[in-house]
Chains A and B, each alone.
Chain A
Amino acid sequence: MLSVKENKIVDFSTPLLEKFAEVVARYPKGRQKSALLPILHLVQAEYGWLSVDAMDKVAAYLDIRPIEVYEVATFYTMFFLQPKGKYVLEVCRTGPCCLVGAERIMQHMEDKLGVKEGEVTADGLFSWRGVECLAACGYAPVLQIGPEYTFYENLTEEKVDQLIDELKQKAQTK
């Protein structure tokens, strides 16, 4: 679902626009649409999610129609079309991870954070969700946190608690 919620007008900053230009330069002339995924990642890293307004501005920048951006943003699972918690904890829920306890970790996540998959905690800090195989099955269970996609391996309930507490502290000191 596209969201117009909190649809602030975003004006991309000059440093961000410079990054866009760097990306576009990787492709042949007239093939600037290839820059779409990398640019959406940059925008999401900056704003936390992709609002319709942000996507429209990307379309204008790349000289493509807005629908072409929505099409892509809705296809790929990494793009958030709604605001999320400041930290989105993404736990792998695929077969190999489940052999060594991923389901238990997801249940624990729900209990610890007190929100269902996809929801945001009241303080706005956390969301969590199950994602598909993260190519780290040998270090399972695993979770990742964007936008840098930091990895946490061989998870236990205690490690999850510790991580959540650390992130809470980090958010307070900022």
Chain B
Amino acid sequence: MARKLLLAHIDVPGINTFEVYRQKGGYRAVEKALKTMSPEDVVEEVKKSGLRGRGGAGFPTGMKWGFLAKPEGVPRYLVCNGDESEPGTFKDRYLMTHIPHALVEGMIVSSYALGANTSYIYIRGEMMPQIRIVEKAIAEAKAAGFIGKNILGTGYDLEIHVQPGGGAYICGEETALLESLEGERGNPRIKPPFPAVAGLYGCPTVVNNVESIAATVPIVNDGGEEYAKIGIERSTGTKLISASGNLVRPGVYEIEMGLPMEEFIYSEEYCGGIANGKRLKAVVAGGSSVPILPTHLALKTAKGEPRLMTYESLADGGFVTGTAMGSGGFIAFDEDQCIVRNTLNYTRFYHHESCGQCSPCREGTGWMEKVLHKIEYGHGDMSDIDLLWDIQQKIDGNTICPLGDASAWPVASAIRHFRDEFEWHILHPEEAQTRNYGLVMEGVES
């Protein structure tokens, strides 16, 4: 059995309550950090742990914390990113629903490390039930003396508040999130300045994902070195994977970094294989934004090595034959799925969610959607494939925030790996309305 750090006690009845969570050793990390460690010590342990941001970008958490500016007399903020809107990702919701105190405990430890006295947990507005759960957990921790003034007699003060979003994927982008938290539209800010220097209310701010913050609890309890022993290379510790699509057992799994993708998909411990006895066609391994891979490249790298669930192995081959860990949103496609239709759906999503500030993203996503719609509904021309390629290339890297890139990559990878299927749609417009292309990888019957 793989080691579990975040979900170790997930099956304990009542683990969502303070009492049971505490009985299972909860809030030890707060006691240890506040009573026996300086804030710098905590930052040091997080650095040693090798923890990388679990929100999508994989930036080393300790290093990010190290960048936080500390001007005299200016408050600093920790803001937790619980916007979780990347299609295919539902681990933060799971964590907040079932073991909310893991997040609250992580918030206390992390706020202490950063010297923040007021911290916010931004949760997407649709998660009203989770907002209530986390608010209750905060109230329980406060009643027990772990939040508030002079926590555990150490002189450290902390308040934690929950902020609801309003339904906008873009607010997961950290500067859009800060705008939203200030009561504005979620328009990403131009960087620099980075939030570490000028974030919430213009003050130094760290934004971290729910899972990253929860991971600081085992790191403080067991030490950064222990945490770093799990995993491979620069992918340390455990990762929550949200598994969806055509799997026998979709759901949230905590894996040790380094698990072979094949084992994750097919073993009984995890997803149990492809549903309804079908075959696997493609995988999106890290949320809708990362490149889609056909089965042969998903299970093995282009070098023929097993594809492992680590930042490095998933990225092996770059975007030509590889993909990215992203948010850990793992989406499996069976042989009946249509890649063109799926790409159209993703592109529609990005078009809908573009904040509209930059023209390549605002116009490009809409244009790609139109072209894909045309192909999907039997009116495409062969030149449309090149047009799509051209548009995505002009978006990628030319926008204020990475949503533009995120809209380009799924289109680029779909064309790169499934060009035949696009061509088949165009050459057989009528047939494409009644059946799917299936698994065929090579050779277009014209």
A31-B201, A100-B245, A137-B242 given as contacts; is B185 within 8 A of A132 (CB)? no
| Min distance, Cβ B282 to any Cβ of chain A, angstroms | 11
A40 CB–B CB distance under 8 Å: yes
Does any Cβ of B come within 8 Å of A171's Cβ?
A: no
Complex interface: chain B residues within 8 A of A33 (CB):
182-184
* B389 CB within 8 Å of chain A: no
* A136-B90, A148-B129 known; A40 vs B85 contact (CB < 8 Å): no
Complex interface: chain A residues within 8 A of B353 (CB) = 132
Interface centre among B167, B186, B331 (most CB of A within 10 A): B167
Q: How far is the CB of A173 from chain B (nearest CB, A)?
A: 24
Q: Decide: B168 and A151 in contact? CB cutoff 8 A.
A: no
From A25, which residue of chain B is reached at the shortest CB distance? B161
Inter-subunit contact A135/B342 (CB<8 Å): no
8 A Cβ contacts from A81-110 to B: 93-96, 98-100
Q: Which residues of A contact B129 (CB under 8 A)?
A: 148-151
Interface residues of B in 76-128 (CB under 8 A from A): 84-90, 92-93, 118, 120, 124-128
Interface residues of A in 101-158 (CB under 8 A from B): 131-140, 144, 146-151
Known A-B contacts A75-B185, A137-B329, A150-B129; the reply to A99 vs B246 at CB < 8 A is yes
Interface size on B, residues (CB 8 A): 56
Residue of A nearest to B77 (CB): A28
Write the chain B residue with the least CB distance to A148: B128
The answer, among B84, B87, B243, for a CB contact under 8 Å with A138, is B243
Query: Is there an interface contact between B167 and A76, defined as CB atoms closer than 8 Å?
Result: yes
- Contact check, B164 vs A36: say whether CB atoms are below 8 A apart: no
Question: Which listed residue (A26, A28, A76, A133) contacts B349, Cβ 8 A?
Answer: A133
Are B185 and A37 in contact, with the CB atoms below 8 A?
no
Q: How many residues of A contact B (CB 8 A)?
A: 45
The digit string for A26-61, where 1 denotes a CB below 8 A from any CB of B, is: 101001011111101100000000000000000000
Q: Is B310 located at the chain interface by the 8 A CB criterion? A: no
Interface centre among A31, A133, A149 (most CB of B within 10 A): A133
B87 with A137: CB separation less than 8 A: yes
Q: How far in angstroms is the closest Cβ of chain A from B91? A: 9
Contact A94 B181 (CB under 8 A): no
- Chain A residue nearest to B186 (CB atoms) is A75
What 10 pairs across the A-B complex have the smallest Cβ distances?
Answer: A76-B166, A78-B167, A137-B244, A33-B183, A36-B183, A77-B167, A138-B250, A149-B128, A133-B87, A75-B185
Q: Which residues of A contact B (CB under 8 A)?
A: 26, 28, 31, 33-38, 40-41, 62, 64, 68, 71-72, 75-79, 93-96, 98-100, 131-140, 144, 146-151
Given contacts A95-B88, A133-B169, A137-B90, 4 further A-B contacts (CB under 8 A): A37-B163, A94-B87, A98-B341, A135-B127
